[in-house]
Amino acid sequence: MDFEHSTIILILVILTAIFFDFTNGWNDSANAIATVVSTRVLSPLKAVILAAILNFIGALVSTKVARTIGGGIVNPDIIKNYVILSSMLSASIWMTICTIWGLPISGSHSLLGGLIGSAVTIFGYNVLISKGIWQVVITLVASPLLGFVGGYILLIVVYWIAFKMHPNTVRFTFSYSQVLSSSFVAFTHGMNDAQKVMGIVTLALYTAGKISDIVVPLWVIFLCALAIAMGTATGGWNVIKTMGMRLSHIRPIEGFAAETSAASVLLLTAGLGLPASTTHTITGSILGVGTSRRVRSVKWGIGKKILYAWIFTFPITALLGGIFVIIIRFILYNW
C-alpha cells in the first residue's frame, strides 16, 4: 500500500482541515462581533448568526487566497499528505487551546507554522517556496499596523464629523452604522480565513492525484465556507470578552471606526490574494482606536498577553508539526 497517496490519509487531511476551519471560526467569531456585542448594539445571538451568514457568503466570493496557500508556501510536487495531516493537527490543537483560554490568535500563523514545521522536518528547507512565504510574512506583519493606523486616523475623522451632532443622534447613527461595519468584518473574514483551508484541502487533493492543478473544486469551497460559518455561530465567548471588553472600552462610534479600518485592510489583502490575519488586523484597529481616544484607555496588560500568544504561535505550531509528522510517519511505515 502506498501510504503517502492513500485515500485514508487524504480523508484524514480533509477532516482535520475542516476541524481547523471550525476552530478558526470559533476563535475568530470575536473579530466580527466582539465590539458590536460589547457596545450592546446587537445581542450575542443576533451577532453570531449575522456573522456566520456573512462568513459563509464571503468565503464564496474569491479563491485568490486559497491559491496562494495551496501552491505558494510549499512545493506541491514534493509535499506528501501525511505531512499536511501533521500540520493541520498542530494548528487545530493550538487554536483550540487558545480559544478555551480566551486568547485571540492568528489562524494564518497557526496554519503556516504547522505546515512549515512539518514539511521542513521531512524534506528540509528546499520544499519551501521563499517568495510565497515572504509575501505572507510581510502581509501578516503589515496588516495589524495598517489596522492600527487606519483605526487611529478614522476615529479622528469620525469624531470631527460627529462633533456638532447631538449626543443622541451620534449614538443612534453609529449604533446602526456599527451593524454595517461588523457585517463588513464578517464578510472579509470569510474572504480570508475560510480560503486558507480551501488551499490546504486543494493541495492535499493535488498531492493525492485527485486533481491535476491547484484549482479549488466547488465542493471544497462550500464545505470550507460551511465549516467556518458553523464555528463562528458557536461563538468563542472567552475570546469575545477579551477583544470587546477587556482590551479597551469602546462605544458604537469607536467600534464603527475599528471595524471599518480592519475590514478595509482585509478586503485589500484578499483582493491581492495575500492571506492576512483577521485577528491581528482587528486587534490592531481596536488598539489604534483606543490610542486615538487616550493611551490609558487601552489595557496594555491584556494587549501584552495577546502579543505573547502571537509570538509563540508560529514556533509552537512548527514544533508540534515536526513532532506529529515524525510520529505519523513512523506509524505509517511500521504499520
Given a cut of 50, whether residue 1 has pLDDT beyond it is no
User: In the structure, what pLDDT confidence band is assigned to residue 296 with cuts at 50, 70 and 90?
Assistant: low
287 vs 13: which has the higher pLDDT: 13
Given a cut of 60, whether residue 238 has pLDDT beyond it is no
User: In the structure, what pLDDT confidence band is assigned to residue 300 with cuts at 50, 70 and 90?
Assistant: low
Alpha carbon distance, N-terminus to C-terminus of the chain: 11
For the residues 114-126, what does the mean pLDDT come to?
Answer: 93
What integer pLDDT is reported at residue 114 of this predicted model? 93
Long-range contacts formed by 297-306: CB under 8 A, 24+ apart: 297/248, 297/249, 298/247, 298/248, 299/246, 299/247, 299/248, 302/242, 302/246, 302/247, 303/247, 305/103, 306/103, 306/104, 306/242, 306/247
Angstrom distances, CA of residue 321 to CA of 101, 117, 203: 21, 5, 17
45 vs 89: which has the higher pLDDT: 89
* Per-residue burial over 21-57, b = 16 or more CB atoms within 10 Å of its CB, e = otherwise: bbbbbbbbbbbbbbbbbbbebbeeeebbbbbbbbbbb
Given a cut of 70, whether residue 25 has pLDDT beyond it is yes
What integer pLDDT is reported at residue 14 of this predicted model? 94
For the residues 140-155, what does the mean pLDDT come to?
Answer: 91
72-112: per-residue pLDDT in tens?
Answer: 889 988 899 999 999 999 999 998 888 777 776 777 788 88
Which of 271, 230, 278, 282 lies closest to 56 in space, CA to CA? 230
User: In the structure, what pLDDT confidence band is assigned to residue 246 with cuts at 50, 70 and 90?
Assistant: very low
What integer pLDDT is reported at residue 248 of this predicted model? 53
In angstroms, the CA 199 to CA 16 distance is: 14
What integer pLDDT is reported at residue 202 of this predicted model? 93
Q: Which residues contact 30 (CB under 8 A, 6 or more apart)?
A: 104, 236, 239, 240, 242, 243, 244, 279
What integer pLDDT is reported at residue 49 of this predicted model? 83
User: In the structure, what pLDDT confidence band is assigned to residue 236 with cuts at 50, 70 and 90?
Assistant: low
In angstroms, the CA 326 to CA 190 distance is: 33
Q: Under a CB-based contact definition with an 8 Å cutoff, are residues 262 and 147 in contact?
A: yes
Which of 199, 193, 196 lies closest to 266 in space, CA to CA? 193
Residue linked to cell 484541502: 201
For the residues 214-241, what does the mean pLDDT come to?
Answer: 79
Q: Which residues contact 165 (CB under 8 A, 6 or more apart)?
A: 173
Determine what percent of the chain is predicted with pLDDT higher than 90. 27
Given a cut of 50, whether residue 244 has pLDDT beyond it is no
103 vs 13: which has the higher pLDDT: 13
User: In the structure, what pLDDT confidence band is assigned to residue 115 with cuts at 50, 70 and 90?
Assistant: very high
Q: Which residues contact 198 (CB under 8 A, 6 or more apart)?
A: 59, 63, 66, 69, 70, 216, 220, 221, 224
In angstroms, the CA 243 to CA 306 distance is: 10
Q: What is the pTM of this model?
A: 0.82
161-202: per-residue pLDDT in tens?
Answer: 888 788 788 878 888 888 888 889 889 888 888 888 999 999
Q: Give the SS3 label for residue 298.
A: strand
56 vs 103: which has the higher pLDDT: 56
In angstroms, the CA 74 to CA 115 distance is: 8
In angstroms, the CA 251 to CA 36 distance is: 9
* Per-residue burial over 65-82, b = 16 or more CB atoms within 10 Å of its CB, e = otherwise: bbbbbbbbbbebeebbbb
- The number of beta carbons lying within 10 Å of the beta carbon of residue 219 is 9
For the residues 222-251, what does the mean pLDDT come to?
Answer: 67
State the average pLDDT for the chain: 82
What is 183-247 written as a DSSP string? HHHHHHHIIIIIHHHHHHHHHHHHHTTS-SSS---HHHHHHHHHHHHHHHHH--HHHHHIIIIIS
Given a cut of 90, whether residue 274 has pLDDT beyond it is no
What integer pLDDT is reported at residue 77 of this predicted model? 87
Which of 190, 219, 201 lies closest to 70 in space, CA to CA? 201
Given a cut of 70, whether residue 4 has pLDDT beyond it is no
